[in-house]
């Protein structure tokens, strides 16, 4: 299987697969940040699949919590957290979330971004969903400077996985001193649209944001029947990775020690402090 030939450069990679499991928002972001800070060898990669228990709103690292209606968030027993990456708010609910970390010595961030989206595209094509890999980096419509008009899924990046022009997957990166962190959401259902219920803004702005989400995103369970679960989407992704001769896959769930270390080391800014 040939994927992004420049990405491999004739090397062999040891890819640790951490299978799908749900955690609270703080733990998920603490784990992503912890792996990104680890001393990884140039031939090491870690790919984790996860979900959110309870559902959670994540803000971009530099985004103000003032954009959220905290009372509404608490009333519905939700969490909010900051991502290590930048960008705008996302409501994590009906989705498969992934994160991948690898050494900066191994590849360029843009190559990693495209490679992962190529894998996702082939995996989804393989289960009968005709998504396409696009290279359109023009911003989709939106009011960039308004704090409340910010859903990440309303904007395109350089390489996107789309169905008939609508985003299926949203990804972001952060470049650390030693590693590259990339994580993102693969939409399964429509609950991400409920983000508008938790924004501190007026009804007109909410309707405009909701219109953008409905017109610029599509979830997988609208494209295939019967409905998909995080595990049934994870499986074809792993299958595609198994076909890559340059990869040696190692399936290893998180240990209790890793969970404890990640939580203890998490930057204070990630925590849900009001």
Instruction: Render each residue's pLDDT in the chain as its tens digit; 274 residues.
Output: 556 655 666 789 999 999 999 999 999 999 999 999 999 999 999 999 999 999 999 999 999 999 999 999 999 999 999 999 998 899 999 999 999 999 999 999 999 999 999 999 999 999 999 999 998 554 433 323 333 333 444 344 468 999 999 999 999 999 999 999 999 999 999 999 999 999 999 999 999 999 999 999 999 999 997 789 999 999 999 999 999 999 999 999 999 999 999 999 998 888 765 4
Asked whether residue 1 is domain-assigned, the answer is: no
C-alpha–C-alpha distance, residues 31 and 49, integer Å: 11
Place of tokens 């900066």: 104
Asked whether residue 39 is domain-assigned, the answer is: yes
**DSSP label of 89:** -
The residue annotated as part of the active site, out of 152, 181, 241, 262, is 152
Assigned token pair, 80: 């909010």
Task: Give the ranges where the chain is alpha helix by DSSP (H).
Answer: 5-8, 25-37, 70-75, 109-126, 203-216, 230-242, 256-265
Q: What is the CATH number of the domain that holds 92?
A: 3.30.930.10
Task: Provide the number of structural domains found in the chain.
Answer: 1
Asked whether residue 2 is domain-assigned, the answer is: no
Asked whether residue 42 is domain-assigned, the answer is: yes
Asked whether residue 8 is domain-assigned, the answer is: no
Asked whether residue 7 is domain-assigned, the answer is: no
Asked whether residue 4 is domain-assigned, the answer is: no
56 in active site: no
The residue segments making up the domain with residue 176 are 13-270
């Amino acid at each position: 299987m040939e994927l992004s030939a420049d990405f491999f450069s004739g090397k062999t990679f040891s890819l640790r697969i951490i299978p799908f499991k749900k955690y609270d928002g703080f733990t998920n972001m603490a784990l992503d940040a912890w792996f990104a800070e680890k001393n990884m060898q140039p031939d090491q990669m870690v790919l984790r699949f996860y979900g959110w228990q309870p559902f959670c709103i994540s803000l971009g690292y530099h985004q103000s919590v003032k954009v959220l209606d905290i009372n509404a968030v608490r009333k519905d027993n939700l969490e909010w957290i900051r991502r290590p990456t930048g960008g705008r708010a996302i409501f994590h609910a009906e989705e498969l979330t992934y994160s991948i970390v690898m050494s900066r010595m191994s590849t360029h961030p843009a190559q990693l971004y495209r490679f992962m989206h190529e894998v996702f595209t082939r995996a989804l094509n393989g289960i009968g969903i005709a998504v396409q890999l696009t290279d359109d980096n023009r911003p989709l419509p939106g009011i960039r400077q308004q704090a409340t008009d910010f859903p990440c899924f309303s904007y395109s990046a350089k390489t996107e996985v789309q169905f008939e022009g609508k985003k299926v997957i949203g990804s972001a990166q952060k470049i650390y001193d030693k590693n590259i962190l990339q994580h993102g959401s693969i939409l399964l259902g429509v609950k991400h649209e409920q983000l508008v219920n938790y924004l501190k803004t007026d009804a007109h702005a909410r309707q405009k944001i909701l219109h953008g989400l409905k017109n610029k995103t599509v979830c997988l369970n609208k494209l295939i029947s019967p409905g998909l679960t995080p595990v049934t989407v994870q499986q074809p992704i792993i299958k595609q990775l198994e076909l890559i001769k340059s990869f040696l896959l190692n399936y290893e769930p998180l240990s209790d020690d890793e969970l404890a270390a990640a939580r203890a080391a998490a930057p204070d800014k990630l925590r849900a402090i009001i």
